[in-house]
A and B are shown apart, each in its own frame.
Chain A
Amino acid sequence: MEPSNKNNLSTSKLFILAGLLLLAIGMLFGLTGALQYLAPQFLKQYLSFEKIRPLHVSSVVFWIIFAAMGSVLTYLQQYNGKKIFSPWLLKIQFGIFSITVVAILITYVFGVFGGREYWEFHPLLAMPLITGWILFIINFMASLVSFKNLPVYVWMWLTGLFFFLFTFIESYLWLIPYFRSNVVNDMTVQWKSYGSMVGSWNMLIYGSSIFLMEKISGSKKYSHTPIAFVLYFTGLFNLMFNWGHHIYTLPTYPFVKHISYTVSMTELLILGRIIWLWKSSVDTARRHYHQAAYRFLLAADVWIFLTLLLAIAMSIPAINVYTHGTHITVAHTMGATIGINSFILLAIAFDILKDSCMPFEKSIKWINRGYYTANISLLFFWLSLVMAGILKAKWQMNDASIPFSSMMLQLRPYFIIFFVSGVGLITGFYLVLFPLIKNQFICQYKKLFIKREKNETVFIIDQFQSV
């Protein structure tokens, strides 16, 4: 057992740090895009909406992917109680991903796109990502000590690892003319892949969040219980078969839609469990509330509930036919990626990055303010999208005579609330991100330029130092 070197910025932490930076940049692009809804001429010359949108989407999707990779890599080492199989492979993986992300963001500025809905870039740039992901899988598999009696989170990580690779490659099948020669065929396969891809990174993130919960509570029981596995298999079942709800109005096979509709309803099981456990989670929350990491997990819990409720409703074709093609879909996505994914990943970031030369306690007041600002803003942000969506749904269903541009004018008050709450959201997030990022840079700076002081206390935070 080695004591933690508090100044050490390991490669797995670098993934989290890079993710945080991408989040900070990505939110700025998002804000610019929201402003363009209100002022169409804003930056139209240089960064019009078709550039801003992928800049935003790719930055924040890569925040999720980078942080998810960082969490799995760190927790895998903590779980194993030993270092990763190959620190070198890890460094190469990090290098490949970082360079590719920068390249992707630059290509957008020059008007080079993948042009597909919604996470897209030039197909050539998918090659290094696939390579990097395979290195990730190799390193993960080689590091696993044993395949016997694995806790549920390792099952989830393994699922996420392999399904992401599968679905990511699947999303490029359109490069083969056979798959893209007809728009219905193309969109069927495309949404099959995208639907499951989101499920894959959720597997990585939820797996890590279970690991973190057990770490905070000090009990390793849950991850071996039958209920944990029932929920995992329900999640996997949905990952595999519920993607059809994206294309209920596409003239594809009816059975694709029926399967999706039926499978989605099993999510009620997950919803039921959340309600069932409500009281005990509130009690646990009280006990751990002082920890920043736990608080973000708690916020995610509330957003899981709201998002799941909306998701289940939208999986019913009769409701989906109204919400599809409206901002209600965006509300759902924002609830899931900000309220769930980002909050969980921030909880994880606090847990992993606290192991540095500076404690977060000094900034706790500002982190708290950021936490509340972000959550309250997100609620308004979400509601403004739901409201805009309801109005657009009404227009889609009834008012064929009202032109598109007049309908958009009617939605304007909600776009204003959307923008203002977006400013609140970004402010709240920045208050939280600033200490997270700053501490790492200062500690790194100290490590490089200031000789270690002799009698500094060394905390043993985790059992060993991860790579």
Chain B
Amino acid sequence: MFLKRQKSATLIILLLGFLSYSFFLYMSLPVKSKPLKKEVDAGKMVWQQYNCNACHQVYGLGGYLGPDLTNVYSKRGPAYIGSFLKAGVGAMPLFNLTEAETKSLLTYLKDIDASGTSDPKTFTINYDGTIEQK
């Protein structure tokens, strides 16, 4: 039988585990010594302000109406992206971004691109069901 004391003990152990896990992650985030770059941060705010995420993904997370943009910077280059933003193709609205907004956005996309590769083809699958990226 599950006694009252066992229930409390289980709860306390789980809670302690959860809190230590949380605070460990907060205190030592996976990517170290990254001071906030003003231009990147401004780009992130533009990204959020226009809700690009509603149609685009970063690392596969986001809406599915448009393509994943994690590595669009190295794949297409800033000139292509800049002109794409001015065109409003298909379902993508014309945002009429200012020059400064476009510039920050490009810096942000460059920063995301430098952080890794989201393409699932770059992963190898292990027998235990885990995956690895070279």
Residue ranges of A at the interface with B (Cβ–Cβ < 8 Å): 36-37, 40, 44, 48-51, 53-54, 113-118, 149, 155, 170, 173, 177-185, 187-189, 191-192, 226, 229-230, 233, 236-237, 240-241, 246-253, 256-258, 261, 316-322, 324-327, 330, 392, 396-397, 400, 404-405
Contacts and interface: CB of A to CB of B under 8 A. Distances in A.
B125 to A, nearest CB: 5
B64 A327 contact: yes
A229 B50 CA distance: 45
Contact of B63 (A53, A173, A230): A53
Contacts of B123: 249, 321
A105 B48 CA distance: 17
A226 B14 contact: no
Interface stretch (B79-87, B99-107, B114-122): B114-122
A171 to B, nearest CB: 13
26 contacts: A36-B65, A50-B50, A53-B55, A53-B63, A114-B48, A115-B52, A117-B53, A118-B62, A179-B29, A180-B44, A181-B34, A181-B35, A182-B29, A184-B30, A185-B29, A185-B30, A189-B29, A192-B22, A233-B11, A241-B18, A249-B131, A250-B59, A251-B115, A317-B129, A324-B60, A325-B118
Contacts of B111: 183
Interface residues of B, number: 62
A236 B18 CA distance: 10
A275 to B, nearest CB: 22
Given A177-B41, A185-B34, A113 B48 contact: yes
Contacts of A187: 58-59, 61
Decide if the interface of chain A is mainly helix, strand, loop or mixed. helix
A250 B58 CA distance: 9
A302 to B, nearest CB: 26
Contacts of A241: 17-18, 21
Contacts of B54: 49-50, 53-54, 113
A392 B21 CA distance: 35
User: 5 nearest interchain CB pairs?
Assistant: A115-B48, A325-B60, A40-B91, A50-B54, A251-B116
